[in-house]
Amino acid sequence: MNRRDSIKTIVISSLASGLILEGCIPREKEMIYENVWKYKYGRTPEELQRDLELLNQVFFSKKELHSIRVLANLILPPTKEGTIDQAEVPEFIEFIVKDSPSYQEVLREGLVWLDEQSNQNFNALFVDCNEDQQKSILDTVAFPKDKKSKEEIFFSTIRNLVITGYFSSEVGINDLGYKGNQPNIWDGVPEDVLEDHGLSYDKDWMDKFVDQSKRNDTAVWDEDGNLIS
């Protein structure tokens, strides 16, 4: 058993004593096992148990989730770096509304409003309209004034959730090109940046502080504070 499998076993074992696993049939345990590991992200056993309860509940219907998926793709269209489905944004929103019930009424009523507007204007459900028709509806709520209507609050809310869900996923982070803290070689400020600010390095110093062959050497100064090496 490798280290990853060992950690999985520890996590599941910590939950096994909880009531949530009591009476589960093997397939249910397998599903819970998969969900726990997927959403573990440093959770305590108590937090994991709560997450499991939420993961095994359903709030949005399949129709509502499809509407969310279509809407999310309008907010963040697919690119070669990633898609809404790859980032599991609809599933993320489903989890969030169960974790924070204050979102539920806003989103559910907003989805109903989308279909009402689509039926009134185009005699079709929102998901069945073409993209131009869908965008024409969203344009009426995408740019709110100081005082937001319920529909504008709905769109702002779901737009924030879509963006959060996508860019907090592995796909979204890769899309951003975020690399985190990584060791690299410092060659000084790029020449084009220096030129933009009307600056340049003193050539006499260049070999002293950007000579990569000496990057592991300890700097040495003389008694007057002059850099020797």
User: Residues 147-187: pLDDT tens digits?
Assistant: 889 999 999 999 999 999 998 888 888 888 777 776 677 77
Instruction: Using DSSP, state whether 227 is helix, strand or coil.
Output: strand
Task: Give yes or no for a contact between 139 and 151, defined as CB atoms under 8 angstroms apart.
Answer: no
Cβ-count burial 1-25 (b if 16+ within 10 Å, e if not): eeeeeeebeebbeebeeeebbeeee
> Helix, strand, or coil here: 221?
strand
Question: Taking the chain, what is the end-to-end CA distance rounded to the nearest angstrom?
Answer: 51
pLDDT, tens digit, for every residue of 94-149? 988 998 899 999 999 999 999 999 999 999 999 999 999 999 999 999 998 888 89
Q: Which of 122, 196, 116, 182 is nearest to 150 (CA)?
A: 116
116 vs 121: CA distance, rounded Å: 9
- Token readout for 142 is 């995408």
Average pLDDT over residues 31-49: 63
Q: And the tokens for 216?
A: 């592991």
pLDDT tens digits, 58-107? 889 999 999 999 999 999 999 888 999 999 999 999 988 998 899 999 99
Nearest to 170, CA basis, from 41, 62, 56: 41
Structure tokens at 194: 């220096």
Cβ-contact 74, 138 below 8 angstroms: yes
Q: Which residue has the tokens 């592991």?
A: 216
**DSSP bridge pairs for 227:** 221
| pLDDT tier for residue 23 given thresholds of 50, 70 and 90 | very low
Residue 180: phi, psi to the nearest 5? Answer: 75, -165
The pLDDT score that the predictor gives to residue 27 is 52
**Which residues, other chains included, contact 108 with Cβ-Cβ below 8 Å and sequence gap of 6+?**
60, 64
Domain boundaries, given as residue ranges, for the chain: 3-55, 62-176
Query: 165, 93 in Cβ contact below 8 A?
Result: yes
What is the token pair recorded at 108?
Answer: 């559910």
pLDDT score, position 75 = 93
Regarding predicted confidence, which is higher, 67 or 8?
67
